[in-house]
Amino acid sequence: MSDFNHGILTDTAHRPWPMPGGPWVMTQTWNDLLFAHWPVDADRLRALVPPRFELDLFDGRAWLAVVPFHMTNVSPRLVPALPWISAFAELNVRTYVRVDDKPGVYFFSLEAGNPVAAGAARMLLNLPYYSAEMAVETRDRRVDYASRRLSEPAAEFRASYYADGAPSSPVPGTLEYFLTERYCLYAVDHHSRAYRLEVHHPPWRLEKAGASIAVNTMAGAAGITLPDIPPLLHFSKRQDAVCWAPDRI
């Protein structure tokens, strides 16, 4: 049974631009997210991101994130959520871009524990989804997370992470706001044409986080070397979101 909060559709004052005019097409709930961010070389990212998308920098620095979480309520509009289809683990590797002054997310990879969902997103949206063997165990405020990609290039992530503070919404102008408050993703279709896919959700509720990362080859699989420094960590317990069909840019 779905516990999606449709009240988010009237919570719009925080958005950096108005809601899209057409009907949204899908619900998703993102649970137990870890945002693990590293500053990375902007020139290296520039070579890996399609030219149509401008890299979005904060104080002149580019950032890369590895984001493990698990999803529920993944369902097309007016279709009930089904436990064996609508709930699965996901793991993203992403950076930040903008087009026409709309900041968004660009994904280098998305792992999914549901091969049907991964195949559909790759086929329909040309998003770089991979099927993975994934396990998520939550105990109190701690999450044990493991993911191993089932195809090449090989990629693996194993970590234990936890919330370590009180939740609050990031303040505009801060690094935390820059890294999380984004309301679209950018990608190219099967014909290399750029598109934007809009999303809507309430303001993020972030907590400081701690993590023990045992294995992380996610960035390396995308051709990116992470600096040998601890990541910037944030945790969010839950985020309900809706998304729209993609629009050509």
Give per-residue pLDDT as tens, 156-170.
Answer: 999 999 999 999 999
**CA 184 and chain centroid, separation:** 10
Average pLDDT of the chain is 95
**Does residue 1 sit within a domain?**
no
Q: Rounded CA gap, 181 and 139, in Å?
A: 28
**Does residue 128 sit within a domain?**
yes
State what percent of residues in the chain have pLDDT above 90: 90
Report whether pLDDT(1) > 70. no
User: What is the span of the domain harbouring residue 124?
Assistant: 6-248
Angle at CA of residue 28, ends 25 and 232, nearest 5° = 130
Counting the structural domains of the chain, the total is 1
CATH number of the domain enclosing 188: 2.40.400.10
Strand partners, 86: none
**Does residue 171 sit within a domain?**
yes
Q: What is the pTM of this model?
A: 0.96
